Structure 1
Amino acid sequence: MELRQLRYFIAVAEELHFGRAAHRVHIAQPPFSQQIKSLEEEIGAKLLERNSRKVRLTEEGRYFYEQAVSILEQTDLAVSTVGRMAKGESGSVKVGFMEIAMDSLLPEAIRAFRHKHSDVSVLISQLGASAQLERIRSGELDVGFSTVFMHGMEGLASIRLFSKKHVLAVPDDHIFTRKKSLSLEEIAKEKLIMFPRAGQPDLHDSIMQAFSKRGLVPIISQEVSGLSGAAALISSGMGVAFLPDNSHVSRKGITLIPVIEEFPSMDIFMVWNKDSCSNTAKVFMERVADYFSVSKIIFNGTS
């Protein structure tokens, strides 16, 4: 059975006239009639009653007509959807992000993408950098927005979207609030709240190295995941922490002070699996890259 036979049958079932039905599907009547006969023989049931005056559907024909219409509608929908997916106009994109990544223009970029590509579902999960890279590599995520590592990036490609300088966040009643800037020597004497190394090992290590280059060992009092958690501990007087400058996290009870020395910044990258990337994900990433005015992405390799 071929799809064209279903289309022929639907035409005659709706026209109830072989001549008009054949004209409707742009085929001569003799081969049209032969196709309908072959369809009935293949099914093993008479679908049409015909005589010299009229054509009508049998009970089997009425049922088959309903099913044939449904089959063709589903087929047309599948063809259309797959075509749109191939162009990146339909489907879904599974996105991972670190909290700091959303503390930027990224939400606006995603909103703009969804406005122009309403048929694409953007599924978002908040994850640490390590978890994102692992899931991108396994195919559980299409795209990640996170810091990247010096090592362990095999099979992944990335492009830097933006960078944020670190400042020291202290409670509003801290003595440091009287200062315009701080040295690492001063900071090393304070109880420091850090983000877990497991989530951002390279950034964690670079911060520690900034201290060690000056013969300093910071007093790490607590570790916390996420900017909001760090801000809550700082405002409670539990310690001080390095936070990205211009952060939109709640600053109630917090003062941000620049660091004098050259200090590691936080670079946020868009990351994907360079060997396995859907067309929908590619279109999503291209739109995000355009929004951040970064260089054109080269897929199947690192930009």
Structure 2
Amino acid sequence: MRMRQLRYFEAVAEELHFGKAAERLHIQQPPLSRQIQKLEEDLGVQLFNRTNRKVELTDAGKYFLEEAKGMLKNQSRAKATLQAMGDGTAGKLHVSFVYLVLSSAFPDIVGSFMRQYPNVDIELHDESSLQQIEALNDGSRHIGFVTLGNLGNHDFSHIVVQRTSPCAAIPANHPLANKKSLTLQDLSALPYICSRESYCKMRVKEMERLFHEVGLKLKLGMQYRRKHTGTVFVASGLGWTIINAGSEGIIPKRVVLRPIEADLPPFKVAMIWDPNRVTPLVQNFLDYYKNSIEEI
């Protein structure tokens, strides 16, 4: 049974006239009659009652008409979906991100993209930069948003999509919260809370160097493994940590941010992708994101 036979059957069933069905299909009547007869032989049932005066559907024909319409509709839907996937307007996209990017235009741009491309299913993955790189390598992620400096020697393409100044996150009830900005001297008395992630270890070394240059020592506090918990411990009064400026909306209410009076390198987030795995859908997302941040 072929899809062509189903289309022929549907035309005859709706017209109940072989001649009119042949005209509708733009074919001659004899080939149409042969295809319907072949379909009946394949199915082992009679689909039409034929007389010299009229053509009628049998009970089996009436049942099969609904089935045929469903199969033709599914084929049409599948074809449309495949065509949409071919031009990048449908499909599934796996996008991973670091927590840092949530304070940027990332949520709004992703939401806008999903509204413009309603047939695209985006699955978001909250992962560390190193986890994202592994996932991009094995093909389980299409696009990642990582902190720059964690790319290593990988052959990924990337563009910087976010640059923000580091700030000190301190308890809102601490006396230092009354100051508009903080010096390294101010922060030297508080324990520095940091993650065990490798990129945070690099940040610790950078902070230790800065403190050492001004004759101070960085006081290391607790280290945590679970993501995004640093500011939770800050809110509990256990110390301070570094976070990007503009993160007020994603930190606990009992935490305040203050600029640091030191030459700290900015936080940079890069959008990365494997140039050898760029599908039309991936390309559409990349173009959309690039154009969106240019307009901001």
Q: For residues 77-105 of structure 1, what are the alpha-carbon distances to aligned partners after superposition, in whole Å with 9 as ceiling and x for unaligned?
A: 00001111111211222222222111111
Bigger shift: residues 184-193 or 62-71: 184-193
RMSD between superposed Cα atoms in Å: 2.6
Q: TM-score, normalised by structure 1?
A: 0.85
Tell me, yes or no, if the aligned pair for 2:13 and 2:65 is still in contact at 8 Å: yes
Query: Offset at 1:146?
Result: 2.1
Tell me, yes or no, if the aligned pair for 2:133 and 2:151 is still in contact at 8 Å: no
Q: 2:203 and 2:88 mapped to 1: Cα distance?
A: 34
Confirm whether residue 281 of structure 1 aligns to residue 259 of structure 2.
no
Tell me, yes or no, if the aligned pair for 2:193 and 2:241 is still in contact at 8 Å: yes
SS at match of 2:160: strand
* Cα distance change of structure 1 residues 54 and 35 upon mapping to structure 2, 3 Å threshold: same
Q: For residues 246-282 of structure 1, what are the alpha-carbon distances to aligned partners after superposition, in whole Å with 9 as ceiling and x for unaligned?
A: 2123463434332222112211111223222332232
Q: For residues 179-228 of structure 1, what are the alpha-carbon distances to aligned partners after superposition, in whole Å with 9 as ceiling and x for unaligned?
A: 5544435534431111323365554554444445667542211124545x
Structure 1: give runs of 5+ residues left out of the alignment.
Answer: 295-303
Query: Percent identity among equivalent residues?
Result: 29
Bigger shift: residues 35-44 or 101-110: 35-44
SS at match of 2:277: coil
Q: For residues 82-130 of structure 1, what are the alpha-carbon distances to aligned partners after superposition, in whole Å with 9 as ceiling and x for unaligned?
A: 1111112112222222221111111111121122112212222222211
SS at match of 2:198: coil
Q: 2:150 and 2:142 mapped to 1: Cα distance?
A: 21
Query: Offset at 1:160?
Result: 0.9
Tell me, yes or no, if the aligned pair for 1:137 and 1:155 is still in contact at 8 Å: no
Residue 28 (structure 1) aligns with = 28
The alignment of Structure 1 onto Structure 2 pairs a total of residues equal to 293
* Cα distance change of structure 1 residues 49 and 178 upon mapping to structure 2, 3 Å threshold: closer
Confirm whether residue 126 of structure 1 aligns to residue 126 of structure 2.
yes
* Cα distance change of structure 1 residues 81 and 269 upon mapping to structure 2, 3 Å threshold: same
Q: 1:131 and 1:269 mapped to 2: Cα distance?
A: 15
* Cα distance change of structure 1 residues 178 and 20 upon mapping to structure 2, 3 Å threshold: closer
* Cα distance change of structure 1 residues 200 and 274 upon mapping to structure 2, 3 Å threshold: farther
Residue 91 (structure 2) aligns with = 91
Q: TM-score, normalised by structure 2?
A: 0.87
* Cα distance change of structure 1 residues 230 and 200 upon mapping to structure 2, 3 Å threshold: closer
Bigger shift: residues 124-133 or 142-151: 142-151
Residue 252 (structure 1) aligns with = 253
Structure 2: give runs of 5+ residues left out of the alignment.
Answer: none
Give the alignment of 1:1-303 within 5 angstroms.
1-177=1-177, 179-184=179-184, 186-198=186-198, 200=200, 202-211=202-211, 217-224=217-224, 225-227=226-228, 229-248=229-248, 249-250=250-251, 252-293=253-294
Query: Offset at 1:58?
Result: 2.9
